[in-house]
């Protein structure tokens, strides 16, 4: 067999393997853990935000909690206080608290993933998950809504394709999609038009490559199966305006 023929045969055998390796690199099978809330060091670089800089009185905290089963998780909690504001301003509509992830430098690239997954337990409130992209418009945010109809742990999935495009707190009409290659930060916020205590427990945030097809996942506690909540109907699940 000539050298040319041997090289041709080797190329035929190597090329499919190489292409498969490239495909595997581009489309990972596994999820990617972004944040776990287990130790105090896991939340050191997170920051808290509220309506106080605007004259509000709401307060919040972020801490690591250990329950009776030695299970640790993050707890974002506090108290929303209403403050009369000038009509048309933030305080003229609602008060808020939020906690924000560290800013990714360089921006986080989640182009290989189709959404985010979290294991959370919430009080009876609507929460907003915000993604801040790195682009030319600093006010751009992409939002998903978290509303869980029970006070127990649940796994939720937020597909990037379902994120609402907003700016300065208002929805935008153009159909801009999130650039998942350039993510600056995440934050989770509560906006309320009434005075209330709130509590949001979280175990992890990860990038996922597939969604639960049936919209359910067994979430076992004391033999009870809990429902997986998706970011599907944003009008139904939106917090009060």
The answer to the question of residue 237 being in a domain is no
| pLDDT for residue 197 | 96
| pLDDT for residue 14 | 46
CATH number at residue 166: 2.60.120.430
Tokens of 176: 């801009």
Total Cβ atoms within 10 A of residue 194: 9
Backbone φ, ψ for residue 11 (5° rounding): -60, -40
| pLDDT for residue 236 | 38
The answer to the question of residue 38 being in a domain is yes
The answer to the question of residue 108 being in a domain is yes
The answer to the question of residue 238 being in a domain is no
The answer to the question of residue 115 being in a domain is yes
Mean pLDDT of successive 10-residue stretches along the chain, which has 241 residues: 56 48 51 97 97 89 95 97 63 82 96 96 94 89 91 93 82 80 97 92 96 52 39 37 33
Strands ordered across the beta sheet of 183-192: 47-50, 95-100, 183-192, 127-133, 140-146, 164-167, 170-171
pLDDT tens digit sequence for 68-121: 999 999 999 999 998 776 554 455 567 899 999 999 999 999 999 999 999 999
In contact, 62 and 101? CB cutoff 8 Å: no
Q: How far apart are CA 208 and CA 231, in angstroms?
A: 14
The answer to the question of residue 16 being in a domain is no
Domain that holds residue 199: 31-215
Beta bridge partners of 216: none
For 142, 145, 189, 230, the CA distances from 77, given in Å and listed in that order, are 23, 18, 11, 23
The answer to the question of residue 239 being in a domain is no
Q: How many structural domains does the chain have?
A: 1
211 CA to centre of own chain: 14
Beta bridge partners of 154: 120
| pLDDT for residue 221 | 35
| pLDDT for residue 170 | 64
Following DSSP, what letter does each residue of 132-165 receive, concatenated?
EE-SS-TTEEEEEEE--SSSS-EEEEEEGGGPEE
The answer to the question of residue 80 being in a domain is yes
| pLDDT for residue 212 | 78
Query: 3-class SS at 94?
Result: coil
């Amino acid at each position: 067999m000539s050298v040319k023929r041997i090289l041709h045969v080797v190329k035929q055998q190597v090329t499919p393997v190489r292409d498969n390796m490239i495909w595997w690199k581009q489309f990972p099978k596994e999820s990617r853990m972004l944040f776990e809330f287990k130790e105090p060091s896991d939340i050191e670089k997170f920051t808290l935000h509220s309506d106080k800089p605007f004259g509000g009185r709401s307060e919040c905290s972020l801490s690591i909690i250990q329950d009776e089963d030695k299970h640790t998780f993050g707890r974002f909690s506090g108290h929303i206080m209403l403050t009369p504001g000038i009509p048309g301003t933030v305080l003229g509509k609602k008060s808020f608290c939020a906690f924000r992830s560290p800013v990714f430098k360089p921006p986080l690239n989640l182009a290989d993933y189709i959404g985010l997954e979290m294991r959370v337990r919430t009080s009876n409130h609507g929460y907003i998950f915000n993604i801040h992209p790195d682009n030319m418009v600093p006010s751009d945010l992409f939002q998903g809504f978290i509303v869980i109809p029970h006070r127990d742990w649940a796994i939720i999935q937020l597909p990037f394709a379902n994120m609402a495009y907003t700016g300065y707190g208002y929805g935008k009409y153009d159909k801009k999609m999130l650039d998942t290659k350039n993510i600056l930060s995440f934050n989770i916020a509560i906006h309320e038009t009434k005075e209330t205590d709130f509590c949001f427990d979280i175990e992890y945030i990860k990038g996922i490559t597939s969604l639960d097809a049936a919209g359910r996942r067994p979430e076992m506690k004391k033999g009870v199966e809990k429902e997986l909540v998706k970011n599907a109907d944003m009008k139904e699940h939106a917090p009060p305006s």
